[in-house]
Amino acid sequence: MSREGAEHELRARADERDRISGDLLDLESHTTYQLLKGASLRGATARRWAAAQESLATVWRLNDAYRAVLRDAEQVRAARGRLGTEQLAALTELLAGASVVLRAAAKPVEQRSLLPQADERLTLDQAVTRMDAAFQEVTATLNDIDAVWNSLLPRLDAAGTDLRRIRELERELGESAALDAPEAELSEMRATALADPLGAAVEPDLDRMARLLSGSRAELDLAVAVKDEYAGRRENLLAALDEVRAAESEARLAYGTVVVKIALPPRAQPRTRVEALTGELDALDVTATPWVLRARRLAALEEAVRAAAEQARTTARAMYGLISRRDELRGRLGACQMMAVRKGLAEDPVTSELFERARALLWSAPCDLTSAAAAVETYQRAIHGGN
């Protein structure tokens, strides 16, 4: 190695030493590393972290030996202003030779031998390569654990937030959501995730737990709102029931008007729901069931009242629509008769008979709309030559 080459190599190795030292300090200040140092680990995570700690111990042993060689090299260089032949040879041996001595590690007694354990000698490059491999094993372990924690812990925190809110709502309602077992299960999930993230298989249970707590929180939020709003919503229900009465009255009026004009089956007669719905509201007023269940019943009752009003209005429209349908068929029959006149079929015995039959059906009371519509269709086809 030339003097210039030795000078350059020593500066490069000093920079490398500082970089490695910085990386090792960053590793030991890493949040996950600090958490793992004081954690009570178990299972797969404990085994993986034990192996990582052995690798890290190897890194530090190699680093100490590596730095010792560089200290020796710097002392050789500092001894003279200009390197002599002997100093250059010594420096070359330190920087390029197998100068890093890795002492044999002490082993547990069950792994020892009475034969002497040989130290290992490495070049600086070999030492750095081995340090890097061990360092990568440690950081891979940290990354794997960190990835699991980053995935699970926020979701566990969110579930915990839901549970705390549920407890607040329980106190506000004075009722229990019976979540003692899920709370204990959630606590066990967190303990497992912290102690053995690499062996924890809590994803499916956590998904189920998150849905359970989210649903319970939503129900209790609704129950509190219903409790606070019950008087106002009850008044709204009474007004809505009045609308149902009015709509059902209109449906009955429509039925009475139509039934004398249009033949209707017995099932077409409107049926009232307002009395049953009023009874449900009265029962809701005196119930002692928890507010969560009352909230469900109230929401269902509100929907049933809305549906009953809409059904009654639909029935009334349908009834009046039957008269419109009869009138439409009468107009269509008249148009067909005019076409028959233009085609010279007005006096035809067959078409005349078909016309009279359709006319008799449409002008009878009550009118059988189904038969009348079929009679008009038959008369129209006859006028068009069967098409």
Task: Give the DSSP letter string of 334-373.
Answer: HHHHHHHHHTT-TT-HHHHHHHHHHHHHHTSSSB-HHHHH
Q: What span, in angstroms and rounded, lies between the C-alpha atoms of 148 and 178?
A: 30
In the structure, what pLDDT confidence band is assigned to residue 346 with cuts at 50, 70 and 90? Answer: confident
Indicate if the pLDDT at residue 335 is higher than 90: yes
244: nearest Cα among 300, 303, 297, 312: 312
Cα dist from 215 to 1, 146, 299, 349, whole Å: 74, 29, 16, 75
* Per-residue confidence (pLDDT) for residue 116, from 0 to 100: 66
Cβ neighbours for 319, distance < 8 A, ≥ 6 positions apart: 251, 254, 255, 257, 258
Q: Is the dihedral of CA 366, 370, 371, 373 positive or negative?
A: positive
List pLDDT tens digits, range 319-328. 999 999 999 9
Residue 387: pLDDT over 60: no
Whether pLDDT at 115 is above 70 = no
Whether the CB-CB separation of 260 and 365 falls below 8 Å is answered with yes
What is the share, in percent, of the chain residues with pLDDT greater than 90? 70
Q: Which two tokens stand for residue 196?
A: 């053995």
When pLDDT is cut at 50, 70 and 90, the band that residue 345 belongs to is: confident
Q: How far, in Å, CA of 241 to CA of 222, rounded?
A: 23
Residue 242 confidence (pLDDT): 96
More confident residue, 237 or 292: 237
pLDDT of residue 243: 96
**Which pLDDT score is estimated for 107?**
66
pLDDT at 385: 76
Angle subtended at Cα 18 by Cα 13 and Cα 23, rounded to the nearest 5 degrees:
120
Query: What is the pLDDT at residue 25?
Result: 93
Helix, strand, or coil here: 258?
helix
Of the candidates 212, 196, 207, the residue with the CA atom closest to the CA atom of residue 149: 196
Does residue 310 have a pLDDT over 70?
A: yes
Q: What is the pLDDT of residues 141-181, one digit of tens each?
A: 999 999 999 999 999 999 999 999 999 999 988 888 889 99
- Under a CB-based contact definition with an 8 Å cutoff, are residues 357 and 382 in contact? no
Helix H or strand E encompassing 101 = strand 100-102
Q: Express the helix, strand and coil content of the chain in percent, nearest 5 each.
A: 80, 0, 20
Rounded CA separation 207/150 (Å): 16
Q: Give the pLDDT confidence of 257-303 residue by residue, as tens digits.
A: 999 999 999 899 999 999 999 999 999 888 878 888 888 899 999 99
Contact criterion met (CB below 8 Å) for 341 and 379: no
Residue 386, pLDDT score: 60
Q: What pLDDT is recorded for position 111?
A: 67
The reply to whether the predicted model has a pTM over 0.85 is no
Mean per-residue pLDDT of the chain? 90
